[in-house]
């Protein structure tokens, strides 16, 4: 029988090459889209899954409250929490503390500015599954002045020679003995670590009294819990412990601290807090793309059903002849299911071929190194088998029963028609397809508009033609003098409009987060938390900041005793008007400063966030960043000259620069990538849905061939026939729009809630995609209708 089925299938395919190609293409494209999204989602959920003790590792995340409201959410929280938890809770087996180190590392005359260097406590390699190529897990980070390098970093500095036992220099001063080499961390980890310095090195240079501080933030703390320990139960004990240890102190400042235990494998998808190693993913986006993948696959299967049943009339006589010749209905069902199985199998392998070709492109689009993760899992091939079998069953069962259900007498006499229930079922599937398509298009349009809105809004700060250079790490007592010389020389170039130095630049949250700041006239419990930026007197004019009251900084000798506020900080301190703040004094960590100016709010970070209270302090030569404003677009020659001046004044420091507008727009990179992925798969969904509509319109045109012929004989024009046929589909489109618009509004309203500054969901955001879908659908329907309408009426009247 299988041989007979194969013969029948190949004969059918040979007679219907174009139709079969469309059918397989629809299935293959749907499966390809589903596989690509699945590969991305699997990658997102695979982060940190390679750690052997992953189920027992938790990161301590800290929420700091001020007057009952969350002020700062830290990924890297307070210094003292780790040792305290280990000493007081038996559930904690080991702790790992990490602290970021900004460094220029050097070996001989090879030096680079490194971003992925951290101090780490000695149990790092015993808690995390990071294989050591050289060195011992238990001793590599024990004791001061020890360093462990990644494989790629060791090669960068030492080439082919073994670095173990050699010394590497940090910021031109401290030397570290290399005690080990670890394998490069995989891409699917929330960490970004290229080298580790022993935490004992950092401890040796601190005041011992500060090592237990709960008011010093910026330290990652990881806990390895004992076997069978309950993390939720441990977390529930922490509020009482916080009250016992810090309750009185927190009440004094009207503050609060809440600790959460983040499972290691949840960090990438659920964590977007201050001090993260790198930007993380988003669980909601991963779930949403998973739904999109399922929808596209379902749409592809629906297409197969519609296209197969559309072709069923042409195969009706074949079914009639087979039944007359003695075929049972079960045999016919088996035949058509076998056909569906064969087409699904071909579609799966075509889809896999496309996925292999498109994965590098898709990796670049999503910003993830996917590396064919899908094909490396045994379960993928199991699911492929289920997809072929399940797809064949789901997409082939209905057409099989429709085709096998024709009565041979009616078929051979030419009297047969589809049931009203069958037509209604197919139309319902088309509505379902277009509900999904309209929702996806509205989503794409909304994401695109929101990103454009954020990029086009006035920021209140001028980023144009600004080159930013990282300030030197390797400095000595002459740093201030050298910086002023560099600044004076650079400002003399005619293409340079101005230059400034600051501890932070627009495009990222300031790293200095200071609490306990208040006006001298306020009580201690009225103190608040602020972001702090150190800057020189050229910062305000260079970035075009608007001074609402008072003045900006000057280069007077005692200017360091003065501060500026932004509007948000001014309001938080209790001033009704900006003018009221001028010459008032504030208390800042034991010192008193005078407010000399209030700046209009500007967007220090992206428009996803609201304006934060900022305090600006003065320094004639702050470290962090040098910003250079040009008055010309041609800066290549200037940069080479700047680099020469840089090397002469700051030897041993790499000249690393970037343009500020590019840096600022990187904040939107994840949203842009999401928008592109969303848009591409929305296009695929609408394309596949149109294939389904193509099948349904084909069926209708065949069924109404004689009717069209009669109408033409009676004088109907092609336009009137098109209108008549299209009206039915217009009803389907309107039904889809009626369901899709409120669904899309609900979904996109939830997505926009993450943005402090967002677009309104105006009516035209829904109208344009709806009109687009209607236009595409009617054009698709018109293909078959025009063909039938242009047929000679004499042929149409002889049909059937």
Task: Give the DSSP H/E element, type plus range, for residue 284.
Answer: helix 283-310
Q: What is the pLDDT of residue 317?
A: 62
Beta strands in 432-566 (DSSP E): 466-470, 496-502, 512-519, 528-535, 547-550, 562-566
Burial label, 494 (beta-carbon count in 10 A; 0-12, 13-18, 19+): exposed
Q: What is the pLDDT of residue 153?
A: 95
Between 780 and 175, where is the model more confident? Answer: 175
* pLDDT range class, residue 679, cuts 50, 70, 90: confident
SS3 543: coil
Q: What is the pLDDT of residue 438?
A: 86
**Interatomic CA distance for residues 119 and 138, integer angstroms:** 16
* pLDDT range class, residue 608, cuts 50, 70, 90: confident
Closest CA to 429 of 301, 292, 293: 301
Separation of CA 49 from chain center: 19
Q: Does residue 130 surpass a pLDDT of 90?
A: yes
Please write the tens of the pLDDT for every residue from 466-479. 999 999 988 888 99
- Here the tokens at position 562 are 């003065």
According to DSSP, the β-strands at 146-150 and 92-100 are unpaired
Q: Does residue 607 surpass a pLDDT of 80?
A: yes
Q: What is the pLDDT of residue 396?
A: 63
Note whether 572 and 540 are within 8 A (CB). Answer: no
Q: Does residue 613 surpass a pLDDT of 70?
A: yes
SS3 182: strand
In sequence order, the β-bridge partners of residue 260 are: 61
What's the average model confidence in pLDDT over 101-110?
90
Q: Does residue 311 surpass a pLDDT of 70?
A: no
DSSP string covering 144-173: SSEEEEEHHHHHHHHTTS--TT-EEEETTT
Q: What is the pLDDT of residue 233?
A: 96
Q: What is the pLDDT of residue 544?
A: 95
Residue with tokens 């050591």: 132
Q: What is the pLDDT of residue 584?
A: 95
> Who's near 164: CB < 8 A, 6+ residues apart?
134, 135, 178, 179, 180, 181
* pLDDT range class, residue 798, cuts 50, 70, 90: low
Please write the tens of the pLDDT for every residue from 13-66. 666 677 777 778 888 888 899 888 888 888 899 899 999 999 999 999 999 988
What's the average model confidence in pLDDT over 263-270?
96
Closest CA to 745 of 507, 442, 528, 525: 442
Separation of CA 170 from chain center: 34
Closest CA to 603 of 568, 649, 634: 568
Please write the tens of the pLDDT for every residue from 451-461. 888 888 889 99
Q: What is the pLDDT of residue 129?
A: 95
**Interatomic CA distance for residues 430 and 691, integer angstroms:** 10
According to DSSP, the β-strands at 146-150 and 195-198 are antiparallel
Closest CA to 472 of 100, 113, 173: 113
Residue 196: other Cβ atoms inside 10 A: 28
What's the average model confidence in pLDDT over 700-716?
71
> Who's near 775: CB < 8 A, 6+ residues apart?
none
Phi, psi dihedrals of residue 101, rounded to the nearest 5°: -125, 115
According to DSSP, the β-strands at 512-519 and 528-535 are antiparallel
Between 750 and 724, where is the model more confident? Answer: 750
Kindly report the average pLDDT of the chain as a whole number: 85
Residue 189: other Cβ atoms inside 10 A: 21
Between 430 and 198, where is the model more confident? Answer: 198
Largest CA distance in the chain: 107
**Interatomic CA distance for residues 47 and 172, integer angstroms:** 36
Q: What is the pLDDT of residue 14?
A: 67
* pLDDT range class, residue 405, cuts 50, 70, 90: low
Task: Give the DSSP H/E element, type plus range, for residue 62.
Answer: strand 57-66
Q: What is the pLDDT of residue 158?
A: 92
**Interatomic CA distance for residues 724 and 722, integer angstroms:** 5
Q: What is the pLDDT of residue 609?
A: 86
Residue with tokens 């007057």: 67
Q: Does residue 518 surpass a pLDDT of 90?
A: yes
* Angle separating helix axes 283-310 and 329-366, nearest 10 degrees: 140
* pLDDT range class, residue 407, cuts 50, 70, 90: low
C-alpha pair distances (Å), 462 with each of 545, 559, 594, 626, 659: 8, 24, 27, 15, 12
Q: What is the pLDDT of residue 167?
A: 94
**Interatomic CA distance for residues 72 and 62, integer angstroms:** 8
Closest CA to 436 of 13, 33, 165: 33
What's the average model confidence in pLDDT over 102-127?
92
Q: What is the pLDDT of residue 724?
A: 74
Q: Does residue 352 surpass a pLDDT of 60?
A: yes
DSSP string covering 357-424: HHHHHHHHHHT---TTTGGG-HHHHHHHHHHHHHHHHHHHHHHHHHHHT--HHHHHTT-----HHHHH
Q: What is the pLDDT of residue 549?
A: 96
Q: Does residue 157 surpass a pLDDT of 90?
A: yes
What's the average model confidence in pLDDT over 74-81?
93
Please write the tens of the pLDDT for every residue from 416-450. 455 555 567 667 777 887 888 888 888 888 888 88
Q: What is the pLDDT of residue 331?
A: 67
**Interatomic CA distance for residues 505 and 673, integer angstroms:** 24
SS3 478: coil
**Interatomic CA distance for residues 541 and 477, integer angstroms:** 29
**Interatomic CA distance for residues 105 and 178, integer angstroms:** 12
What's the average model confidence in pLDDT over 332-353?
80
What's the average model confidence in pLDDT over 630-657?
85
Query: Kindly report the CA angle at 161 between 159 and 167, in degrees rounded to 5?
Result: 95
Query: Kindly report the CA angle at 381 between 376 and 382, in degrees rounded to 5?
Result: 130
SS3 44: helix
Q: Does residue 411 surpass a pLDDT of 60?
A: no
For the chain, what percent of residues have pLDDT higher than 70? 86
Closest CA to 650 of 493, 484, 503: 484
Closest CA to 48 of 268, 285, 369: 268
Please write the tens of the pLDDT for every residue from 234-258. 999 999 999 999 998 888 777 899 9
Burial annotation 688-722 (CB, 10 A radius, 16+ → b, else e): bbbbbbbbbbbbbbbebbeebbebbeeeeeeeebb
Q: Does residue 702 surpass a pLDDT of 80?
A: no
Domain boundaries along the sequence of the chain: 1-46+284-416, 54-270, 445-458+667-800, 475-651
Q: What is the pLDDT of residue 31?
A: 86
Q: What is the pLDDT of residue 788?
A: 67
């Amino acid at each position: 029988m299988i041989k007979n089925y194969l013969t029948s299938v190949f004969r059918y395919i040979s007679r219907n090459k174009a139709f079969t190609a469309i059918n397989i293409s629809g299935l293959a494209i749907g499966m390809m889209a589903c596989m690509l999204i699945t590969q991305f989602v699997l990658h997102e959920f695979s982060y940190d899954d390679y750690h052997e003790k992953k189920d027992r590792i938790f990161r301590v995340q800290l929420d700091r409250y001020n007057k009952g409201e969350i002020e700062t959410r830290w990924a890297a929280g307070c210094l003292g929490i780790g040792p305290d938890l280990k000493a007081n809770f038996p559930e904690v087996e080991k702790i790992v503390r990490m602290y970021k180190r900004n460094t220029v590392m050097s070996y001989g005359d090879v030096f680079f500015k490194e971003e992925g260097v951290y101090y780490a406590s000695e149990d790092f390699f015993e808690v995390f599954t990071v294989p050591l190529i050289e060195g011992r897990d238990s001793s590599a980070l024990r004791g001061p002045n020890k360093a462990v390098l990644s494989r790629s970093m060791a090669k960068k500095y030492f080439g082919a020679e073994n670095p173990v036992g050699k010394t590497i220099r940090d910021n031109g001063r401290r030397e570290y003995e290399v005690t080990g080499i670890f394998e490069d961390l995989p891409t699917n980890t929330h960490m970004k670590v290229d080298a580790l310095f022993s935490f004992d090195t950092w401890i040796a240079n601190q005041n011992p009294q500060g090592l237990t501080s709960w008011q010093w933030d910026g330290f990652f703390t990881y806990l390895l819990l004992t076997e069978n320990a309950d993390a939720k139960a441990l977390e529930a004990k922490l509020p009482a412990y916080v009250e016992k240890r810090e309750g009185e102190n927190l009440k004094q400042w009207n503050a609060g601290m809440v600790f959460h235990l983040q499972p290691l494998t949840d960090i990438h998808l659920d964590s977007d807090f201050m001090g993260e190693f790198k930007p993380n993913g988003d669980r909601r986006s991963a779930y949403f793309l998973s739904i999109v993948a399922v929808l596209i696959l379902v749409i592809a299967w629906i297409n197969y059903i519609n296209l197969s049943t559309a072709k069923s009339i042409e195969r009706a006589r074949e079914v009639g002849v087979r039944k007359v010749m003695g075929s049972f209905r079960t045999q016919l069902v088996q035949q058509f299911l076998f056909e569906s199985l064969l087409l699904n199998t071909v579609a799966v392998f075509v889809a896999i071929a496309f996925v292999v070709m498109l994965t590098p492109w898709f990796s670049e689009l999503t910003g993830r190194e996917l590396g064919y993760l899908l094909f490396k899992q045994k379960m993928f091939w199991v699911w492929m088998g289920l997809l072929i079998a399940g797809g064949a069953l789901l997409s082939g069962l209905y057409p099989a029963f429709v085709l096998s259900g024709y009565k041979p007498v009616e078929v051979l006499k030419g009297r047969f028609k589809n049931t009203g229930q069958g037509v209604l079922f197919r139309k319902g599937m088309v509505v379902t397809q277009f509900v999904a398509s309209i929702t996806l298009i509205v989503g794409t349009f909304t994401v695109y508009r929101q990103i454009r809105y954020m990029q086009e809004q006035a920021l209140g700060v001028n980023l144009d033609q600004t080159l930013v250079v990282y300030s030197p790490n390797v400095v000595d007592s002459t740093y201030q003098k050298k910086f002023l010389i560099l600044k004076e020389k650079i400002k003399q170039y005619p293409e340079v409009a101005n230059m400034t130095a600051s501890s932070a630049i627009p495009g990222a949250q300031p790293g200095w987060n200071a609490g306990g700041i208040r006006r001298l006239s306020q009580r201690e419990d009225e103190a608040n938390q602020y972001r702090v930026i150190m800057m020189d007197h050229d910062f305000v004019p260079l970035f075009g900041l608007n001074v609402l009251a008072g003045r900006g900084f000057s280069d007077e000798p005692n200017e360091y005793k003065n501060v500026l506020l932004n509007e948000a900080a001014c309001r938080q301190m209790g001033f009704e008007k900006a003018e009221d703040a001028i010459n008032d004094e504030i208390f800042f960590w034991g010192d008193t400063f005078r407010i000399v100016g209030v700046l209009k709010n500007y967007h220090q970070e992206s428009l996803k966030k609201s304006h934060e209270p900022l305090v600006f302090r003065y320094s004639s030569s702050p470290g962090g960043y040098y910003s250079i404003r040009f008055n010309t677009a041609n800066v290549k020659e200037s940069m080479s000259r700047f680099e020469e001046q840089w090397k002469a004044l700051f030897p041993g420091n790499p000249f690393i620069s970037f343009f500020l507008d590019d840096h600022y727009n990187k904040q939107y990179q994840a949203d842009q990538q999401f928008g592109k992925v969303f848009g591409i798969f929305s296009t695929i969904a609408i394309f596949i849905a149109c294939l389904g509509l193509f099948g349904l319109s084909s069926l209708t045109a065949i069924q109404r061939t004689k009717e069209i012929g009669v109408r033409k004989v009676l004088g109907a024009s092609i336009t009137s026939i098109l209108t008549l046929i299209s009206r039915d589909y217009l009803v389907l489109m309107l039904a889809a729009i009626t369901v899709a618009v409120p669904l899309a509004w609900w979904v996109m309203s939830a997505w926009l809630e993450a943005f402090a500054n967002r677009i309104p969901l105006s009516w035209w955001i829904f109208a344009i995609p709806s009109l687009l879908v209607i236009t595409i659908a009617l054009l698709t329907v018109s293909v078959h209708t025009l063909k039938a309408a242009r047929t000679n009426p004499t042929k149409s009247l002889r049909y059937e």
